[in-house]
Amino acid sequence: MKFQRREILLGLASGGLTMRALAQSETYPNKPVRVIVPFPPGGGGDNQARLILTRVAQELGQPFVFENIAGAGGNLGCQRAAHAAADGYTLLYGTNGTHGINHALYKNPGFDPQKDFQAVGRLSSLAAMLVIRPDLPVKTLAALIALIKARPGAYSFGSAGYGTTSHLAGEIFKAQAGLFAVHVPYRGGAAALVDLMGSRLDFMIDVAANTAPQVLGGRLKALAVTSAHRLPNFPELPTMMESGLPGYQLTAWDAVFAPAGTPSAIVEKVNASVRLALANPELRKQLTANGAEPYPSTAAELTQFVGTEMEKWGAAVKRSGATID
């Protein structure tokens, strides 16, 4: 009898929690939602987050309050989001850096990308460009490869820092093309691009949102894009695969996450708002101009995607030898 009474009480308690979660989801959201952006304000990640998620907020019916918590490659912001209440009023803007690279790069990132977060939905896929200093005497990727091979170690490439997308993209390029080039890490991609434009570096692979304006302004030369297809705004620019590296395909990405345990009904509401936002013609036009492709998904698809990305980027980090205590 005691066992039966205990089971009944547990069942009632569980049912009460379920009913409470359902009630919360029916009224959600009834106040502003905090979005943690784990990068500095004004940077590429912050701009992308605000561009997309401001539209998501309109679809959801409540304003988003953006909070930049930068540091340790995005780890500090992710840690804060992981420990927030799982009620839908704290969301995280995550990327291939925070949820694909950092678990392998940092010995203790302070969070688990899979266990500490509930996937909500993907936002976009961001192609990168291989760009060179304006006075480098090559016009194609094949010519660049030949130039570097002729003088191993004489040429350098910049990145936003050890283990960043731009660093690993360069390392993968070196490995697949059989090159020896010197890696020069910076504190952020903007500083690296400044030195590239000033001919203090030779090449760099960075997301098109950062490189395209410099190419259009004539301050850098672009040789190829890293995506599977050519960019609509740069139809004359071949892909890395078209340029002689058949296995080279690399894109950055971003997505929305919530603390683990966030009710599924709330996750579904946010996911539906993300899908509506990404279908907006004006937003799609803005993303295309930034070299990004809208990439909506279900929460389950994002969960599976994060698992495969952790394996892919983890292998790239291992090949590069990069590590941060």
Report the candidate in 162, 163, 208 with the shortest Cα–Cα distance to residue 44: 208
Hey, how many other C-beta atoms are within 10 angstroms of the C-beta on 150? 9
**Domain 127-225 is classified in which CATH homologous superfamily?**
Periplasmic binding protein-like II (3.40.190.10)
Q: How confident is the model at residue 26 (pLDDT cuts 50, 70, 90)?
A: confident
Residue 30, Cβ density class (10 Å: 0-12 exposed, 13-18 middle, ≥19 buried): exposed
Question: Do 51 and 287 touch, CB atoms closer than 8 A?
Answer: yes
Q: Compute the average pLDDT of residues 136-160.
A: 97
Q: What is the mean pLDDT of residues 282-293?
A: 90
Q: What value does the mean pLDDT take over residues 91-117?
A: 95
Q: What is the pLDDT of residue 66?
A: 98
Of the CATH numbers 3.40.30.10, 3.40.190.150, 3.40.50.150, 3.30.1370.60, which one belongs to the domain with range 2-126+251-320? 3.40.190.150
| Tens digit of each residue's pLDDT (9 = 90 or more) over 68-99 | 998 888 999 999 999 999 999 999 999 999 99
Proportion of the chain above pLDDT 90, given as a percent: 73
pLDDT at 234: 92
**178: pLDDT strictly greater than 70:** yes
Query: CA–CA separation, 114 vs 303, rounded Å?
Result: 8
Residue 154 vs residue 232, higher pLDDT: 154
- pTM of the predicted protein model: 0.82
Instruction: Locate the domains of the chain by residue range.
Output: 2-126+251-320, 127-225
Higher pLDDT, 187 or 259: 259
At 265 the pLDDT is 97
Tokens 């010995």 label which residue?
A: 107
Measured between alpha carbons, how far is 80 from 84 in angstroms, rounded to an integer?
6
| Average confidence (pLDDT) over 15-26 | 59
Which of 10-19, 83-92, 245-254 has the lowest average pLDDT?
10-19
SS3 208: helix
Lowest mean pLDDT among 54-63, 111-120, 205-214: 205-214
Average pLDDT over residues 291-295: 91
Higher pLDDT, 80 or 164: 80
User: CB neighbours (10 Å) of residue 118?
Assistant: 21
β-partners of residue 324 are: 106
Closest alpha carbon to 264 in 59, 58, 118 = 118
Residues sharing a CB contact under 8 Å with residue 102, sequence separation 6 or more, in sequence order? 73, 74, 75, 78, 109, 113, 163
Q: Using pLDDT thresholds of 50, 70 and 90, give the confidence band for residue 1.
A: very low
**Which SS3 state, helix, strand or coil, does residue 65 take?**
strand
Amino acid at 312: K
- CA distances 58 to 110, 289, 298, Å, are 32, 22, 20
Give the H/E segment covering residue 184: strand 182-185
Q: What is the pLDDT of residue 22?
A: 58
Q: Is the pLDDT of residue 63 over 80?
A: yes
pLDDT given at position 130: 98
Which is more confidently placed, 23 or 136?
136
Instruction: Reply yes or no: is the peptide bond before residue 152 cis, omega within 30 of 0.
Output: no
Q: DSSP 3-state assignment of 67?
A: strand
In the structure, what pLDDT confidence band is assigned to residue 41 with cuts at 50, 70 and 90? confident
Q: Which residues contact 216 (CB under 8 A, 6 or more apart)?
A: none
Residue 252 is predicted with a pLDDT of 92
Q: Supply the pLDDT for residue 141.
A: 98
